[in-house]
Amino acid sequence: MKIGVVGVGMVGSSAAYALALGGVGSELVLVDHNPKLAEAHAEDILHATPFARAVRVRAGDYGALEGSAVVVIAAGVGQKPGETRLELLGRNARVFEQVIPAVLEAAPEAVLLIATNPVDVMTQVATRISGRPESRVIGSGTILDTARFRALLGEWLEVSPQSVHAYVLGEHGDSEVLVWSGAEVGGVALEEFARQSGKSLDEEVRRRIDDGVRRAAYRIIEGKGSTYHGIGAGLARLVRAILTDERSAFTLSTLTPEVEGVREVALSLPRILGASGVLRTLEPQLSPSECQALGHSAQVLKQAAVELGF
């Protein structure tokens, strides 16, 4: 099956590389406003396929996306020094006003997977511009934050993160909500697992893990300029779930009718992902403080979308 990636900067090219090495799909088409950049990445990634899986990789224009089952949208502009978040949103919204119609003209049946930041508001923008059902315009949301949370819990508890079930909800950003109350390890409640393992989960440990999740992007950006490997792998994982109709749960951002009293807002909740996009949204059982924090996160995102005119 064909997969498109539009915008092959650090995030888009990392996603394309992860898709190719993972053998996700049979054909990968890279599109960028700089055709030479797309061609260079396509050639470079193609040269990696003999060491991994047989995937056809090529660059093209929007017309080359015809027949794509999924199109990853990583197109956008970076934040300028002194530029406000709203100004950045406005510039990226204008980019999407050009990109989204061009993608849908070529691949009207494709599921759109949004990776451009700020991803929650950009998912709402893409949904409004496209006019498509909310279930088929999906933001990568907090999949990376959730992975970070599970990785840090697993490291502290000395257990594989694959055995940790814990979620980060709300905004992919500063107001995100780490759901401690519902976390489990191997089907055992987190606090009970920690007790059995002789590990503390006191306020200092929780604060350290929270900071490790919430501030990770800032530290990575300070060290190397941007984050891309983690989200690239996450996007490849989501595409695989769509192509195989996997019906697994991920913390994804879609335009949601109502969250904690806030109407029509895009943010992350646990959602079941399959061939046609989001099949179902789950309603996690949260503590009162987590409900309050999720409501605050929803309000932050709603305000940004309103100010942008979406």
252 with 267: CB under 8 angstroms?
A: no
User: Which ranges of 69-171 would DSSP assign to H, the alpha helix?
Assistant: 85-106, 119-130, 143-157
41 counts as catalytic: no
Alpha-carbon distance of 228 to 166, in angstroms, equals 22
Burial (0-12, 13-18, 19+ Cβ within 10 Å), 156: middle
243 with 69: CB under 8 angstroms?
A: yes
> What does the radius of gyration of the chain's CA atoms come to, in whole angstroms?
19
Helix 229-243 to helix 143-157 angle (10° resolution) is 110
Task: Count CA within 13 A, CB hemisphere, residue 25.
Answer: 30
> Among 165, 172, 229, 296, which one carries the catalytic annotation?
172
252 with 278: CB under 8 angstroms?
A: yes
Catalytically active residues, by annotation: 172
